[in-house]
Amino acid sequence: MKKLDFYFNKREAEDESQNVSSSPSIDVNEPCTSSLQDVTANKTTLFDPPYPDMSNLTNDELSKHETKVNLLQHEWEPNSYGNYAFPSRSDSSHFRFVEMADNFLMVIRKENPSISDTLTSSRDLQIGKNRHIMRRIIENLILCGRQNIAVRGHTEERSNFMAISNYAASEDKVLSKHLTQPTNAKAKYTSPDIQNEILKIIGRQIRENIVRDCNKSDYFAFLADEATDTSTKEQVSLCLRFLDRTDNGLEVREEFVGFLHAHSIRGQALATLLLDTLDEYEIDGDKMRAQGYDGAANMSGKHHGVQAHVRGRFPESSYVHCKSHCLNLAIVHSSKDARVRTIMSTVQDIAFSFDYSAKKMEAFYNELDADILTKEELDGRRKLRTLCETRWTSRADSMYTFRVAFPVIISALEHLRQDGDDKAGQILAAISRFEFIIGLVTTEHILQSIVHLTTFLQSKSCDLVAAVRECKLIIDQLSDERNDDAVWDALFDQAVTMADKIEVLSSMPRRLGRQVNRANYPADTPSQYWKRALYFSFLDYFIEELTGRLMDNSDRFQGQNLIPTRLESLCAECIDKLYETFRHDLTDNQGTFNSEQATMMALKAFKSAKDILKHDNEEEKVWNLSNLDFSRK
């Protein structure tokens, strides 16, 4: 009770200091005063307790001093008159707060997920589902692109894309439900517009990766070619060739970056289109050191060609005519001989005739199955191959197929002629002549000699120096064959053997005193005549074209001789030319450049000598051999 006296006395002192009226001091041991009785006068009865009913007290009454004292002196129990109903435990604020506290602790201890986590989890599940669906749709589009098949057909439902998607849905329940029971029918992401947008994004990402790798390289070459597509629109294809530094070393990459629609094929218009595209793709044109196009006047023109306009903006970008295209042009111009042109035209007509006639193909198959030796020599070929109009180098395979299948073709045409096919009779008469047979054998042999060169020139690892070297090897080979009578004798014997099988004699045209329609070559035998009139004529023209179109090797191309494995090709004069050619890209003066090349050549000589004496520990011999090798060079 002392604590209570202290508490109430303190409150009284505070009230007096604030000039606020307060009740007189009351001994807590004394009974309640009349003022306290007034508080509960309206609620007291004979059975009421001697203290106020707390359930019906107002805030003002509860704040009175007498009420507090009375409540503290007695143990309060609710009665029927108080009409005070305690709330149930489950409805009380305390219980709710305790429950909330328990939940809070469980969330903190990671025993239960929070509300935000629950909502986030549901959202993550939906995001994961949507991403899974989009991933499968994108993968199906990528599959169509990689396999080079059309995405859509005549109808959207029967398109290749939908067929692949439905097949994938058979093993994917999420994708199957999305395609058959979509939450939103307008959000299936399979419409042609969505397909085009996805393909555009994929193409842009691929191009950006290529451009980024190209810009990381110190230098690059820009390649372009123009052609008319099936929709009769002029399309320009663009490629970048650059040196990529990877974890495995250096790699020469040649990457396709896109198609452009050309509204005009004039040199100025094409150059503007290409330069604007370089800026649009953010390709660093200052690093361009080469530009490669075909030999058409609008591309290679010295003053108004594309290469001239591009060099006007990027002076260091040398124009390089595609060596494979040069080879193709060499064959085209070499084949202008009337006999060679007639032979190729006849082979093309016969191949088309058999290819588009079921009756002729049936006769060809029957005769081929009956000729076991020819079937084995054809090595799986079951049809005659037409001559490509643009890639003349591919004609070597077509000519080879026709020569090997020649007996089968003759037998099939004879069978068709007996059945009343007049066209077959005309074709049979055209090829059953020795002039055609010797021309077929000769042309096929010369074209076969450049098949390897064609493959090499189209490889990614091919460089200009290597291309010139391979071309020189082919030219030397053809020149040696021209001077070797045994080569021609073998070709002529092969033609005679083919002619004997169809009972055709080797012959030559009559030689007249005055001939104006054809060359009048002097010859005593058919072999001499066809050697001079056909073999030498075709071969000499072909060698001349190869030399003029493929052996052009400018000073800039000699820069590849700076590669350590090719240093033996360098001389003092070559080094001076190289410095003059590349001085804009070099930071050192000519003296420093020459000194570095001398050091590299010395190291090259040292390495060669060390390889020879790798089992010998006498270092003096190594240095002596190095000095001798270097002084020789």
Cα–Cα–Cα angle for 443, 447, 450, rounded to 5 degrees: 160
Print the SS3 string covering 204-230.
Answer: HHHHHHHHHHHHHCCCEEEEEEEEECC
Which amino acid is present at 32? C
Residues 6+ apart with CB under 8 A from 273: 236, 260, 262
The answer to whether residues 613 and 621 touch, using CB atoms and an 8 Å cutoff, is yes
Q: What was the pLDDT predicted at 633?
A: 45
Task: Report helix, strand and coil shares of the chain as percent, to nearest 5.
Answer: 65, 5, 30
Residue 12 tokens, joined: 């009284």
Residue 139 CA to residue 129 CA, distance in Å, equals 15
Low-confidence ranges of the chain (pLDDT < 70): 1-58, 74-92, 390, 392-393, 460, 511-520, 551-573, 580-633
Q: What was the pLDDT predicted at 403?
A: 92
Q: What was the pLDDT predicted at 257?
A: 92
Residues 6+ apart with CB under 8 A from 262: 226, 234, 235, 236, 269, 270, 273
The answer to whether residues 161 and 144 touch, using CB atoms and an 8 Å cutoff, is yes
Q: Measured between alpha carbons, how far is residue 580 from residues 44, 177, 250, 322, 550 in Å?
A: 123, 69, 26, 25, 24
Residue 101 CA to residue 112 CA, distance in Å, equals 13
Please give the helix or strand (H or E) that residue 597 lies within, else none: helix 590-612
Residue 375 CA to residue 386 CA, distance in Å, equals 19
DSSP state of 510: P
Inter-axis angle of helices 536-550 and 323-334, nearest 10: 150
Residue 54 CA to residue 157 CA, distance in Å, equals 80
Which amino acid is present at 184? N
- Burial class, 349, CB count within 10 angstroms (exposed 0-12 / middle 13-18 / buried 19+): middle
Q: Measured between alpha carbons, how far is residue 593 from residues 128, 443, 578 in Å?
A: 60, 50, 10
The answer to whether residues 243 and 250 touch, using CB atoms and an 8 Å cutoff, is yes
Question: Measured in whole angstroms, how far is the alpha carbon of residue 555 from the centre of its chain?
Answer: 33
Q: Which domains does the chain have, with CATH numbers?
A: 2-73 (no CATH), 115-190 (no CATH), 222-321 (3.30.420), 346-550 (no CATH), 556-632 (no CATH)
Q: Measured between alpha carbons, how far is residue 249 from residues 236, 245, 246, 526 in Å?
A: 32, 6, 5, 59
Q: What was the pLDDT predicted at 585?
A: 66
Print the SS3 string covering 341-395.
Answer: HHHHHHHHHHHHHHHCCHHHHHHHHHHHHHCHHHHHHHCCCCCCCCCCCCCHHHH
Cα–Cα–Cα angle for 264, 265, 270, rounded to 5 degrees: 90
Burial readout 438-463 (b: 16 or more C-beta within 10 A, e: otherwise)? bbbbbbbbbbeebeebbebbeeeebe
Coil, strand, or helix at residue 520? Answer: coil
- Burial class, 405, CB count within 10 angstroms (exposed 0-12 / middle 13-18 / buried 19+): buried
Q: What was the pLDDT predicted at 304?
A: 87
The answer to whether residues 236 and 298 touch, using CB atoms and an 8 Å cutoff, is no
Of the CA atoms within 13 Å of residue 596, those in its CB half-sphere come to: 13
Q: What was the pLDDT predicted at 92?
A: 62
Q: Measured between alpha carbons, how far is residue 79 from residues 82, 83, 84 in Å?
A: 5, 7, 8
Give phi and psi for 43, each to the nearest 5.
-125, 0
The residue behind tokens 């009779």 is 425
Which amino acid is present at 320? V
Q: What was the pLDDT predicted at 611?
A: 53
